[in-house]
Amino acid sequence: DAGVIQSPRHEVTEMGQEVTLRCKPISGHNSLFWYRQTMMRGLELLIYFNNNVPIDDSGMPEDRFSAKMPNASFSTLKIQPSEPRDSAVYFCASRWTSGNSETQYFGPGTRLLVL
C-alpha cells in the first residue's frame, strides 16, 4: 500500500494568497484527520471526517481555514487568505474505524511557509 499521500510536500507563499493542501488516504480507510504541527503548539487536530462527513471541526483556527472531503479518496485543506502565523507542517492521517481499531496512519506532511 502506498500509505497516506500528501501534496505538495513543501509550499512557500506570500501573505494573503490562497493555499490548498491535498490528501489521499489509504484505500479502504473511512476516517480522515488533518493536524497542524508547530514548535509552539505541538500537534493540533484541526478537523476529523468519518465517511466523508466532517464530524469535529472544533480545532479549525478560524474562518480562513476550510476542509472538504468530496469522496473517500481525497481531501483538501484550504487557507484563504494565508498569514505568516499559518506557517507549520500540516499532516493528514487516515484510519479504518472498526471495532477497537484506533491506529491512525500519517502522511509525510506538507511544510507550509507563509512570508
Partner 1 sequence: GNSVTQMEGPVTLSEEAFLTINCTYTATGYPSLFWYVQYPGEGLQLLLKATKADDKGSNKGFEATYRKETTSFHLEKGSVQVSDSAVYFCALSTNAGGTSYGKLTFGQGTILTVHP
Interacting residue ranges for partner 1, rule: CB under 8 A: 4, 31, 33, 42-43, 45, 48, 50, 55-56, 91, 93, 95, 97, 99-109
Least separation in angstroms between CB 21 and partner 1: 13
Q: CA-to-CA distance for 27 and 2, rounded, in angstroms?
A: 9
Q: What is the DSSP string of 97-112?
A: -BTTB---EE---EEE
The amino acid occupying position 113 is L
In the bound complex, what is the minimum distance in angstroms from residue 35's beta carbon to partner 1?
Answer: 9
In the numeric block, the cell 497516506 is attached to 4
Which long-range contacts does 59-65 make (Cβ < 8 Å, 24+ apart)?
none
Q: How far is the CB of 113 from partner 1 (least distance, A)?
A: 15
- Closer CB to partner 1, 36 or 86, in the complex: 36
Nearer residue to partner 1 within complex by CB, 80 or 101: 101
**Could you tell me if 60 and 45 are in contact, meaning their C-beta atoms sit under 8 angstroms apart?**
no
Asked if 92 and 23 touch (Cβ cutoff 8 Å), the reply is yes
Nearer to partner 1 by Cβ, of 10 and 14: the residue is 10
Q: How far is the CB of 61 from partner 1 (least distance, A)?
A: 17
